[in-house]
């Protein structure tokens, strides 16, 4: 007699029969999620451990990530572009291709791929990386693309780019407009702090103080410590006694003792008061809090030079160069140190190194090099370096004076 199976039994048999395929599909999905997290992260160090299951449809993703992890962006681009021929609508591949283009120095192509993937947060992260590398045009390119979709998130990055480019008026206008347009924005306190910084850059200290004090009134803000530090520096710059400024900065340090900013600010105040030994103590403490911040070390070197401790300054500068061998400003500092010692050949070599490493278009590095050439009597080289400085900053007074001097003008 034939027995009829119920629907539940049939479903069970089908499930058992398809179990291997289902398991493979689940494993593929699990792997894809792990790799996607790696692809969207900034660190690719563990990619080698994420080799794909056999015949995985996204094996090309892993190959591309491996190439990026091994600093071979050209190979990554080729592998990922080939994978996209087979899967042209794969959002993950488009986002990964953008990362490969970014690594290869092709920001416009990177922007286009992130736009296709609607990866706006990744675009903003790319802008942050470009800003840290002082590739300000690239940062602005990414931020402009993300602005329409994430307008509030890009404001502080846009402000940083404008500050770095010396466009302080534009930065202040952007901040004021943002503060007025989005009064309940989560970044409101940060914007007010940046506004205070902008006003300080313009030496408008009363407005800077007002902005910092307003930032301290923002409820549920997480950056009151920054506002106290900025307020202390603005009070000092406006002519208040150093004790008043130090007390305000100390409040910021007490709120966030693990951050270096307050220690640097305290060092800056003491250095301005010519209390160099005390300032060095604060700079050393700041270095301990943030050892990867080369600019704190630069501040310490400058303080030691001003405090008539050139040997210690040179020792710390040499240590910094060993740790940060690609930082142009350190070689600028080294050239200045050799120049003060009259070691002009070494000064020129260091100044040339600073110019060769510079990616920010710093005219002062060219002026420093021109000055060393001029002191050595290498006038054609000096003229060329002065003109290069003027190409970057037509109003640079030192470069204009150098060109006039070399042309025999009064």
Query: What tokens appear for 237 in the block?
Result: 């710059």
Cα 215 to Cα 49, 160, 227, distances in angstroms: 46, 18, 6
* Range in 62-76, 108-122, 269-283, 321-335 with the lowest mean pLDDT: 62-76
Would you say residue 33 has pLDDT above 80? no
Would you say residue 7 has pLDDT above 90? no
The answer to whether 218 touches 189, Cβ cutoff 8 Å, is: yes
The span from the CA of 281 to the CA of 223, in Å, is: 25
**pLDDT interval class at 22 (50, 70, 90):** very low
Percent over 90 (pLDDT), the chain: 72
**Would you mind telling me the total number of residues written for the chain in this entry?**
410
Average pLDDT, the chain: 87
The span from the CA of 191 to the CA of 189, in Å, is: 5
Mean per-residue pLDDT for 139-162? 96
The answer to whether 133 touches 116, Cβ cutoff 8 Å, is: no
Q: What pLDDT was estimated at residue 2?
A: 43
Q: What pLDDT was estimated at residue 77?
A: 86
The answer to whether 218 touches 182, Cβ cutoff 8 Å, is: no
Query: What tokens appear for 265 in the block?
Result: 């600010």
The span from the CA of 291 to the CA of 320, in Å, is: 10
* Range in 92-101, 141-150, 306-315 with the lowest mean pLDDT: 92-101
**pLDDT interval class at 19 (50, 70, 90):** very low
Cβ neighbours of residue 383 closer than 8 Å, sequence gap 6 or more: 370, 402, 403, 406
pTM: 0.77
Domains present along the chain, CATH in parentheses:
27-41+57-118 (1.25.40.10), 258-325 (1.25.40.10), 331-410 (1.25.40.10)
Q: What pLDDT was estimated at residue 46?
A: 53
Q: How many helices (H) does the chain have, and how many strands (E)? A: 23, 0
Mean per-residue pLDDT for 272-298? 97
Would you say residue 359 has pLDDT above 90? no
Would you say residue 13 has pLDDT above 70? no
Mean per-residue pLDDT for 57-61? 61
- Give per-residue pLDDT as tens, 208-235: 999 999 999 999 899 999 999 999 999 9
- Return the SS3 of 363: helix
Q: What pLDDT was estimated at residue 90?
A: 83
Q: What pLDDT was estimated at residue 410?
A: 54
**pLDDT interval class at 76 (50, 70, 90):** confident
Query: What tokens appear for 134 in the block?
Result: 């002082």
Cβ neighbours of residue 290 closer than 8 Å, sequence gap 6 or more: 259, 260, 296
Mean per-residue pLDDT for 70-95? 83
Q: What pLDDT was estimated at residue 37?
A: 55
């Amino acid at each position: 007699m034939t027995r009829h199976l119920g629907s539940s039994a049939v479903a069970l048999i089908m499930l058992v029969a398809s179990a291997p395929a289902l398991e493979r599909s689940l494993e593929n999905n699990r792997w894809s999620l792990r790799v996607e997290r790696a692809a969207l992260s900034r660190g690719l160090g563990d990619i080698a451990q994420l080799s794909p299951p056999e015949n995985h449809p996204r094996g090309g993703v892993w190959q591309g990530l491996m190439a990026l992890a091994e600093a071979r962006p050209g190979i990554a681009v080729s592998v990922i572009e080939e994978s996209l021929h087979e899967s042209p609508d794969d959002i993950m591949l488009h986002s990964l291709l953008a990362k490969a283009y970014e690594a290869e120095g092709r920001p416009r192509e990177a922007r286009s791929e992130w736009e296709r993937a609607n990866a706006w947060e990744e675009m903003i992260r790319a802008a942050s990386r470009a800003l840290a590398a002082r590739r300000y045009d690239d940062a602005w390119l990414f931020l402009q693309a993300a602005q329409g979709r994430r307008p509030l998130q890009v404001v502080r990055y846009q402000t940083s780019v404008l500050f770095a480019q010396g466009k302080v008026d534009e930065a202040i206008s952007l901040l004021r407009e943002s503060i007025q347009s989005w009064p309940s924005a989560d970044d409101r306190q940060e914007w007010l702090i940046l506004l205070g910084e902008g006003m300080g850059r313009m030496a408008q200290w009363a407005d800077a103080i007002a902005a910092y004090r307003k930032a301290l009134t923002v409820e549920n803000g997480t950056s009151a410590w920054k506002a106290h530090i900025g307020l202390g520096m603005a009070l000092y710059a406006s002519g208040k006694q150093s004790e008043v400024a130090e007390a305000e900065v100390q409040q910021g340090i007490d709120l966030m003792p693990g951050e270096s900013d307050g220690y640097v600010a305290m060092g800056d105040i003491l250095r301005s008061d010519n209390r160099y030994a005390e300032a060095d103590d604060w700079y050393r403490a700041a270095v301990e809090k943030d050892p990867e911040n080369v600019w704190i070390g630069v501040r310490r070197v400058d303080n030691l030079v001003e405090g008539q401790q050139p040997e210690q300054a040179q020792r710390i500068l040499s240590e910094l160069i060993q740790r940060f061998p690609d930082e142009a400003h350190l070689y600028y500092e080294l050239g200045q140190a050799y120049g003060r010692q009259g070691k002009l050949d070494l000064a020129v070599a260091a100044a040339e190194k600073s110019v060769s490493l510079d990616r920010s278009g710093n005219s002062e590095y060219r002026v420093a090099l021109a000055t060393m050439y001029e002191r050595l009597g290498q006038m054609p080289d000096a003229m060329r370096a002065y003109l290069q400085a003027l190409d970057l900053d037509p109003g640079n007074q030192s470069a204009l004076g150098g060109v006039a001097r070399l042309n025999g003008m009064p």
